[in-house]
Amino acid sequence: MAKVLVIGASRGIGLETVKAALRAGHSVRAWHVRRQAYPSRMRVWIRCPATRSIATRSGTHSKVSTWLYRRSALTSPRAIFERTTLFSVSTRILVDAMQAAGVKRLVAVTGLGAGDSRGHGGLLYDAFLFPLLLKCVYGDKDVQERIIKSSELDWTIMRPGLLTDRPATGRYQVLTAPKDWRFGVISRADVADFLVQQVDNRALIGTTPLLIS
């Protein structure tokens, strides 16, 4: 059993990851949560802004970062036209805190179009959706990925395809080779299944796999 801190745990992938980690028998701590969202098995409630200094005394073995924009926020004028630093600033704080505390394992979620996965989404995604709606958000995700890759942590950066709310299937593709990266869909529950598996799996350390169904 590992002690796992899930960041961005109030909804979406974060919430599904908390549920999956508890089912797997891990001790879970959640950051940026809503109290009513969780079962009584949750050990600790931490409610703070994402950019506040992260306490290193939490004693966790692994950290899963799932900061994501809500669907409605992605298409808001602010997200489309204004530069954000949420992902990069929060990740810088997290990485520094982990290195200071000697916690090595970090599993982070970014997305298709971040880093060297840009240009692998197909014509509609790459030529229209990405430059029109996602450019500012993913510019900060690029910085986030660079911070993680330049750290001394045992990191894995997972890039999911288009997210759905379908139930977990356990059947999805983990694409590690850039030549295989392509647009696809994946449920948040399946992403969570993958994330929890990485707590004990060292095979994908230092890689940036793309997940699609």
Q: 């079962």: which residue's tokens?
A: 39
d(CA 104, CA 151): 10
Whether the pLDDT of residue 182 is over 90: the answer is yes
pLDDT number for residue 87: 87
Whether the pLDDT of residue 63 is over 70: the answer is no
Structure token digits, residue 173: 């593709």
d(CA 11, CA 147): 25
Beta strands in the chain (DSSP E): 3-7, 27-31, 44-46, 62-65, 105-109, 154-160, 162-164, 173-175, 185-187, 210-212
Q: What is the pLDDT of residues 148-171, one digit of tens each?
A: 999 999 999 999 999 999 999 999
Question: Which of these, 90, 115, 95, 120, lies nearest to 180 by C-alpha position?
Answer: 120
d(CA 158, CA 198): 10
CATH of span 3-212:
3.40.50.720
Whether the pLDDT of residue 34 is over 60: the answer is no
HSE at residue 71, side-chain half, CA atoms within 13 A, is 7
Question: Which of these, 5, 7, 15, 2, lies nearest to 168 by C-alpha position?
Answer: 15
d(CA 120, CA 76): 24
pLDDT number for residue 46: 35
115 close to 91: Cβ distance less than 8 angstroms: no
The residues facing 162 across adjacent strands are 185
Whether the pLDDT of residue 31 is over 70: the answer is yes
Domain boundaries, the chain: 3-212
At 61, which amino acid appears?
H
Average pLDDT estimate for 15-25: 91
Q: CA-based angle 59:65:68, to the nearest 5?
A: 150
What is the pLDDT of the chain when averaged over all its residues?
81
Question: Which of these, 180, 174, 186, lies nearest to 107 by C-alpha position?
Answer: 174
